[in-house]
Amino acid sequence: MKKLAVFLLLPLLAGCSSITVLDPKSTTGEEQAYLIWFSLGLMMIVLVVVFVLFARFVIKYRYTEERKNDIPEDVKGNLKLELTWTILPIILLIVLAVPTIAITYNQSPKMAAEADDGIDIGVAAQQFTWTFSQPNGKTDQNKLVLPEGEDVTLHLSSKDVIHSFWVPALAGKIDAIPGRTVTYEIKHLQKGTYRGKCAEYCGTQHTNMVFEVQVVSKKAYQKYLKEMK
Characterize 56-83 residue by residue with b for buried, 16 or more Cβ atoms within 10 angstroms of its Cβ, and e for exposed: eeeeeeeeeeeeeeeeeeeeeeeeeeee
User: Would you say 69 or 204 has its CB closer to Cu ion?
Assistant: 204
- 191 or 206: whose CB is closer to Cu ion? 206
Query: Is residue 152 classed as helix, strand or coil in its secondary structure?
Result: strand
Min dist CB 134 to Cu ion, Å, is: 22
Q: Which is nearer to Cu ion, 67 or 195 (CB)?
A: 195
Interface residues for Cu ion in 148-207 (CB under 5 A)? 163, 198, 202
Q: Site for Cu ion (CB under 5 A): which residue of 209, 213, 215, 216?
A: 209
Residues 87-116 that bind Cu ion (CB under 5 A): none
- Is the CB of 198 or the CB of 216 nearer to Cu ion? 198
Do 224 and 145 form a contact (C-beta atoms < 8 A)?
A: yes
CA 171 – CA 187 distance, rounded (Å): 9
Closest CA to 119 of 79, 162, 150: 150
Residues that bind Cu ion (CB under 5 A): 163, 198, 202, 209
